[in-house]
Amino acid sequence: MVEPNLLHAPVLDWYEDNARDLPWRAADATPWGVLVSEIMLQQTPVVRVLPIWHEWMDRWPTPAALAAEQPGEAVRHWGRLGYPRRALRLHACARAITDEHGGEVPSDHETLLSLPGIGEYTAAAVASFAYGGRHAVLDTNVRRVFARAVRAEEYPPTATSAAERRLAEALLPELGAPRWGVAVMELGALVCTARAPRCADCPITHVCAWRLAGKPPHAGPARKGQTYAGTDRQCRGRLLEVLRKAHGPVPKAALDVVWDDAVQRERALDGLIADGLAEALDDGTYRLPHATT
């Protein structure tokens, strides 16, 4: 394995000069702001997250502020970030933080894991970036940097493996682990990208195992890009957009006009209801979800 000290200083120095100025990294960022950013950034680029994050933090600066709203309002203000169940998870998380933790985002990794919708990555990221904890933060960008720099593999496995976790733990510096985590993440986002890595601009290109091995191609299954046009996901998005804009129940006819394929439309609508993103009312209308009391 590459000696960790050969990675730490170059990556941290590069980050010092190249880090993006993002509000959830600011000195005055709250743990709640960090948590919201981490949920929003899952499978979504920064440029799309920024305006929605600012809107959320202006509207709901604390977990209690969001918890006081109906879950449908979280879905409404999720906008076009995609994967709107994340909005419901954030709402459920806000209620748990408010009801069980006095409105304060927990700092303990295990406690964070107990919150609704919070997985290993998010718990580690919040404990590290918001509270300075020493945790291995393994998002897609970090995993790709480690796969190339240390294991000479173009891409990491589809799912995070135990070996990756052990490697990430071994590479953690004794001091400054949060800054190391965000620095590697930034390197993967800006330089060691999935499709067109800029090796000439990489601060660790001289020790990168993948480059030194001649950049061997990915040996696993072909990586397929996600399609969107014509899919159930696009149909769901169209239906949900009607509900978000309506600010109240809408008749079925208002949903029918946004998608021609009736079978696919009904399947997508049933999926939204099953996922808790929409509600069917007794009078035949539909709305965004309301909390049961």
Question: Residue 251 gets which letter from DSSP?
Answer: -
**Of 16, 38, 55, 174, catalytic:** 38
Nearest-angstrom CA–CA distance, 180 and 172 = 7
Rounded (5°) CA angle 233-114-33: 70
Rg (CA), the chain: 21
Nearest-angstrom CA–CA distance, 37 and 185 = 14
Question: Residue 136 gets which letter from DSSP?
Answer: -
Partnered with residue 279 across adjacent β-strands are 287
Nearest-angstrom CA–CA distance, 282 and 276 = 16
Question: Residue 198 gets which letter from DSSP?
Answer: -
Closest C-alpha among 102, 97, 91 to residue 112: 97
Q: Residue 88's CB: how many other CB atoms inside 10 A?
A: 20
Partnered with residue 284 across adjacent β-strands are none
Nearest-angstrom CA–CA distance, 44 and 101 = 29
How is the chain split among helix, strand and coil, in percent rounded to 5?
A: 55, 0, 45
Contact 102, 148 (CB under 8 A): no
Question: Does 279 qualify as catalytic in the annotation?
Answer: no
| Residues labelled as active-site residues | 38
